[in-house]
Amino acid sequence: MHLRRITAALAVAAFPLAFATAPATAATVPEHDAPESTKLGSSALPEHQLTGYWQNFVNNAEPLRMSDVPADYDLVALAFAQSDPTSPGAVRFNVDSELSNALGGYTDAQLKSDIATKKSQGTDFVMSIGGAKGSLDLSTEQRVNNFVDSMIGIIENYDLDGLDIDLESNFDTAGMTSAARQLRQHFGQDFILTMAPQTLYVQPDGSYMPLINNLSDIITVVHTQYYNSGSMFGCEGNIHSQGSVDFITAQACNLLDTLRADQVSLGLPASPSAAGSGYVDPSVVTDALDCLSESTNCGDFVPGEAHPSVSGVMTWSINWDVSNGRNFSRTVADHLDTLPSS
């Protein structure tokens, strides 16, 4: 167990009121006709956590049982829930048949058992929606209701801790806002809500910014994908090319104008094969963490202030990390334990 997980557990025991829900800043949304609120009972995430996506499909990366996920990962996002063609707006999830075959017959029951074991060891889990090929239409109240009902069913069936929004095509901001708030209302303050926008979507006029502003009081962390991106403006107004400390830190700075530092995480590919572009050596990731948290190891861009509570790192994907000898997770997880505590 890494030090960041032990520290988080102690913090929960010592300061239980620190995680009380902040006052809502978005407009009130109608409550969903759902069962009475049920807390998930999830432990707080470590102050500096490592998040990874588990692939529920087969590509050139190593197929993994959930039991094969390295202990370095504090939060695992299951990728992905798929649209249910029988119920507009709803999603569904089960172990992919090709993945099951590749693993010699991996079943839903085995996945649930592996998740339960990992949770007993301190790992948290979110169900991710979207991905490069996924889409979700929540443009009507009925579609929102269908999505909420289906997501409640998935979370409770697999004993997960929350939702990850990784929609990479157009989505209805009002519908997604309503759905996220209804899920939070149903599950309570321990509900984990994460997002994985692409860099363009969190530029000042990006498509994710209205959603982030609407949900800023209940967002756990936003781990922007700092890869598969063209050059982007940093918060100081300069253009930065992907693949450098400056690109990561100046992009993170954009979100730090909207969110708390503990809600901002850095998303990078785990290996050169994991993304079309934007892979950096894990040492670049650790330098970016140092720059944001302590104003050291920066490139040309130096943030106006240090953010010791910067959240952590996300990677696509755990499968690609394992395929690459776990170079990413070993390096980054060890470094997260050295970051200052806020």
62, 156, 168, 236: the active-site residue: 168
Distance CA 328, CA 47 (A): 19
Q: Is the CB of residue 129 less than 8 Å from the CB of residue 166?
A: yes
Give residue 8's identity as a one-letter amino acid code: A
Distance CA 273, CA 62 (A): 12
Question: Could you tell me the two tokens for 244?
Answer: 């450098």
Closest among 318, 334, 223 to 282, alpha carbons compared: 334
Active site residue 168: yes
Closest among 145, 153, 182 to 31, alpha carbons compared: 182
Pairing of strands 192-195, 162-167: parallel
Angle (nearest 5°) at CA 189 between 258 and 123: 90
Q: What is the residue whose two structure tokens read 């707080």?
A: 44
Element (H, E) at 189: none
Helices (H) and strands (E) in the chain, counts: 10, 11
The 3-state secondary structure of 278-322, one letter per residue: CCCCHHHHHHHHHHHHHCCCCCCCCCCCCCCCCCEEEEECHHHHH
**Alpha-carbon distance values, 196 to 72, 208, 212, 219, 263 (Å):** 20, 10, 11, 12, 12
Which residues are known to be catalytic?
Answer: 168
